């Protein structure tokens, strides 16, 4: 084996040091001194700033330089879209062509927005309701069709209360107006097809199948005999006259009708408190699936006087006393040894504010008169307004208030199922590890609450986030890129 001299060791060491130095310089972005015969190397550019870095004033100049769209009139649209324009002139929306209307409510641009940039070749400059998010598409329709719309809006058909519409199942489920209606032309009410066919497209469970019986109006496709398609104060978009509609076919004064109801006089009662109006299993008598035990066991006299004493099924005690006889624990002000926050209807023993006494179609909550969402927002109108915002908390979008709240009592404020931070972390287990500190922090020496400098209260997730619905991404109370932070962290402008 050849021997290695000290001179060779020194040379190898110096070479290694040079290579390390060159690699370090290249990795750090420094310019590498050019070797003889080589051209100088340009140092690599620094990484681009994060996308959430606030824009400087000079960065917005190009956006500001972009021309703003202006209204050009429907005649310009008709020069290219002749077939649509011709049909539009003979349709329900022809009222939009009135010259007296303001530009943003006149003709094509009432729905599609100002067209100047589109005429200039920008294909993306026009609004297309069929390709927009449901809430955004509906906004153009509601400019005219909301009962509280501008006085300048043309009379183009039915108007309905905006709040009721936004609370309705169709709007909450993301069924846009253009899902059923054509913007330009169509059958009656600009429908894309027969109204009952449209209903059946989504409500396929209402079609006939083996082992079930269809209520005659359902079988005959007469959905709108009982339902409002847009807005209603009643559950499931039913009409206020739905109970009178039942009496058109079912004579409540016949003896057989009384005998079918334990000899009680049923005149003037609401059929839909016990019976389903659509589809029923054979032999079920059309009763709803979820029933109060005394009702399902035919023990009417636990709550009502017998038909011999009272044909009107008079209660033997006030309703608030009747419920407490069996559900005393529900109204107790103690929760596992802790004082409870009570829901006001529970405090007032107003059980029938939320619950049906006989039966219900709701499976999520016991004997709720309507869906959880509809039941809660009947009283909590301020929350209802938040729930109609464009960005929604997932439980809100699902209409499940009971994902976070309990209905009767809780040791937590606002009837939460858990302390608020624990509740949020049950679905968002990792966010608190990488975001702003909340709650109580333990630095190893002491435990100290993270406080909001504006109020002095402990910071929770709800300090920065809306819990039901809002207008900002991530449900933040302000724009999350900067405005949210400067609420507490003041900076020089």
pLDDT of residue 142: 86
First to last CA, the chain: 74
pLDDT confidence tier of residue 460, bands split at 50, 70 and 90:
very high
- pLDDT (average), residues 146-174: 75
Q: Contact, 375 vs 368, CB < 8 A? A: yes
| Mean predicted lDDT score pLDDT of the chain | 80
Query: What's the pLDDT score for residue 335?
Result: 66
pLDDT exceeding 70 applies to what percent of the chain?
82
Q: pLDDT at position 20, please?
A: 41
pLDDT of residue 32: 36
Q: Of residues 445 and 451, which shows the higher confidence score?
A: 451
- List, for residues 130-141, the tens digit of each pLDDT value: 888 888 888 888
Calculate the dihedral angle through the C-alpha atoms of 178, 184, 190, 193, rounding to the nearest 10 degrees.
-70
Structure-model confidence comparison of residues 114 and 92, the more confident one:
114
Q: What residue spans of 280-343 are helical by DSSP H?
A: 293-296, 319-326, 328-331
Cα 107 versus chain centre, distance: 31
Query: 62 versus 103: which is more confidently predicted?
Result: 103
pLDDT band at 266; cut points 50, 70, 90: confident
Is pLDDT at 374 greater than 60 in this prediction? Answer: yes
In this structure, are residues 486 and 453 in contact, taking their beta carbons and an 8 Å threshold?
no
Residue 33's pLDDT is what? 40
Res. 55: pLDDT tops 50: no
* pLDDT exceeds 90 at position 401: yes
Tell whether the model's pLDDT for residue 42 goes beyond 70. no
pLDDT-wise least confident of 17-31, 102-116, 286-300, 330-344: 17-31
Here the contacts of 153-159 (C-beta below 8 Å, separation 24 or greater) are 153/105, 154/95, 154/96, 154/98, 154/101, 154/105, 155/95, 156/92, 156/93, 156/95, 156/96, 157/92, 157/189, 158/189, 158/230
List C-alpha distances in Å: 224 to 195, 239, 245: 8, 9, 12
Which of 45-59, 221-235, 359-373, 459-473 is most confident? 459-473
Give the model's confidence band at 365: pLDDT under 50 very low, under 70 low, under 90 confident, else very high: low
The structure's pTM equals: 0.64
Give the range with max mean pLDDT: 60-69, 159-168, 318-327: 318-327
């Amino acid at each position: 084996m050849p021997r290695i001299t000290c001179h060779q060791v020194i040379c190898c060491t110096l070479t290694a040091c040079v290579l390390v130095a060159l690699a370090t310089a290249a990795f750090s972005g420094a310019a590498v001194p050019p070797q003889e015969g080589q051209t100088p190397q340009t140092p690599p550019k620094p990484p681009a700033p994060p996308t959430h870095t606030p824009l400087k004033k000079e960065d917005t100049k190009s956006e500001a330089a972009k021309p703003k769209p202006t209204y050009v009139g429907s005649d310009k649209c008709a020069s290219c879209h002749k077939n649509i324009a011709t049909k539009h002139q003979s349709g329900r929306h022809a009222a939009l062509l009135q010259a007296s209307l303001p530009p943003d409510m006149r003709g094509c641009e009432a729905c599609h927005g100002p067209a100047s940039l589109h005429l200039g070749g920008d294909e993306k400059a026009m609004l297309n309701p069929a390709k927009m998010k449901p809430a955004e598409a509906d906004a153009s329709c509601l400019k005219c069709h909301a009962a509280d719309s501008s006085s300048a809006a043309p009379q183009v058909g039915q108007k309905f209360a905006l709040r009721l519409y936004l609370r309705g199942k169709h709007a909450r489920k993301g069924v846009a107006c253009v899902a059923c209606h054509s913007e330009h032309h169509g059958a009656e009410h600009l429908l894309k097809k027969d109204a009952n066919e449209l209903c059946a497209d989504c409500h396929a469970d209402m079609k006939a199948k083996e082992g079930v019986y269809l209520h005659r109006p359902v079988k005959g496709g007469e959905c709108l005999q009982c339902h409002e398609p847009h807005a209603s104060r009643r559950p499931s978009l039913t009409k206020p006259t739905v109970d009178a509609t039942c009496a058109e076919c079912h004579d409540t004064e016949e003896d057989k009708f009384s005998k079918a109801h334990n000899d009680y006089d049923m005149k003037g009662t609401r059929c839909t408190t016990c019976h389903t109006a659509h589809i029923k299993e054979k032999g079920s008598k059309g009763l709803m699936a979820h029933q109060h035990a005394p009702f399902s066991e035919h023990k009417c006299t636990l709550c009502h006087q017998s038909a011999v004493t009272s044909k009107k099924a008079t209660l033997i005690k006030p309703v608030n006393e009747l419920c407490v006889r069996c559900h005393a624990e529900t109204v107790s002000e103690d929760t596992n040894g802790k004082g409870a926050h009570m829901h006001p209807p529970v405090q007032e023993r107003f059980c029938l504010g939320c619950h049906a006494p006989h039966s219900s179609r709701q499976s999520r909550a016991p004997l709720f008169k309507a869906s959880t969402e509809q039941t809660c927002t009947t009283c909590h109108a301020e929350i209802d307004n938040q729930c109609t915002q464009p960005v929604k908390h997932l439980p809100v979008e699902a209409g499940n208030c009971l994902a976070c709240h309990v209905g009767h009592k809780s040791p937590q404020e606002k009837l939460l199922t858990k302390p608020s931070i624990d509740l949020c972390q049950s679905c968002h287990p990792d966010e608190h590890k990488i975001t702003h500190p909340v709650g109580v922090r333990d630095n190893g020496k002491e435990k100290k609450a993270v406080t909001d400098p504006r109020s002095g209260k402990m910071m929770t997730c709800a300090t920065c986030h809306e819990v039901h619905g809002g207008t900002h991404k991530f449900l933040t109370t302000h724009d999350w890129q900067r405005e949210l932070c400067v609420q507490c962290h003041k900076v020089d402008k």
